[in-house]
Chain A
Amino acid sequence: QQQVKQSPQSLIVQKGGISIINCAYENTAFDYFPWYQQFPGKGPALLIAIRPDVSEKKEGRFTISFNKSAKQFSLHIMDSQPGDSATYFCAASDHGGETSGSRLTFGEGTQLTVNP
């Protein structure tokens, strides 16, 4: 059962535009929501993450918006650049402990292309 749904599957944006990727989750035990960027042949790299006690977090050109009641969160990339062209994954994790461990549940990914 997929617990994190991501959309769109692919996105094409012009240089300087805003890229928006959306995710929805079902498990209310999730309390950590990271976004990862992955280039071909590389592993995912953490971009930005948020916990549900805040509604928005901004780091440079990247912003996460979080709506706890709707169980949705989104990534906004401002002033998108050709170098941002990559696959983006949202993920979620619950409050695991040292004994029980924890895991990331990933969305299916969004392939972003930023045209020059």
Chain B
Amino acid sequence: DAGVTQSPTHLIKTRGQQVTLRCSPKSGHDTVSWYQQALGQGPQFIFQYYEEEERQRGNFPDRFSGHQFPNYSSELNVNALLLGDSALYLCASSFGVRGGYTFGSGTRLTVV
């Protein structure tokens, strides 16, 4: 049974560019949440998607946007990348918005 799958695992982007990260939830899960984890810090909540709608959003600028597809997979888009966006981006899936979360291994984004 596959867990949460994230792609790509690593990528390097130039400041000002745009990036799209992808997440496939664990089988049976219908809710996807995204977190940003800077080096040496705890994950910070970006937003949560359920039934293809953004249900809750953390303190992140509008440059961060997302989408959930009918098959429950999700994308995180970041526009106008800043050096400070360099981090590990984690996707977590659950059954329902309050279910136990399963995290993927993350996408390591480096902005140069």
Contacts and interface: CB of A to CB of B under 8 A. Distances in A.
B45 A105 contact: yes
Interface residues of A, number: 29
Contacts of B33: 103-104
Given A44-B43, A89-B42, A108-B41, A102 B100 contact: no
A101 B90 contact: no
Interface residues of B, number: 27
A43 B100 contact: no
Contact of B50 (A32, A49, A98, A105): A98
B97 A96 contact: yes
Given A42-B105, A106-B42, A101 B56 contact: yes
Contact of A100 (B40, B42, B55, B102): B55
A100 B92 CA distance: 17
Contacts of A41: 105
Contacts, number: 72
* Interface SS, A side: loop
Contacts of A97: 97
Contacts of B51: 98
Nearest to B51: A98
B58 interface: yes
A48 to B, nearest CB: 11
Interface in A72-113: 89, 91, 93, 95-109
Interface of A: 6, 32, 34, 36, 41-46, 49, 89, 91, 93, 95-109
26 contacts: A34-B100, A34-B101, A41-B105, A42-B105, A43-B4, A43-B106, A44-B90, A44-B103, A46-B100, A91-B42, A96-B56, A97-B97, A100-B55, A100-B97, A101-B97, A102-B48, A102-B97, A103-B48, A103-B58, A104-B35, A104-B43, A104-B45, A104-B92, A106-B43, A109-B41, A109-B42
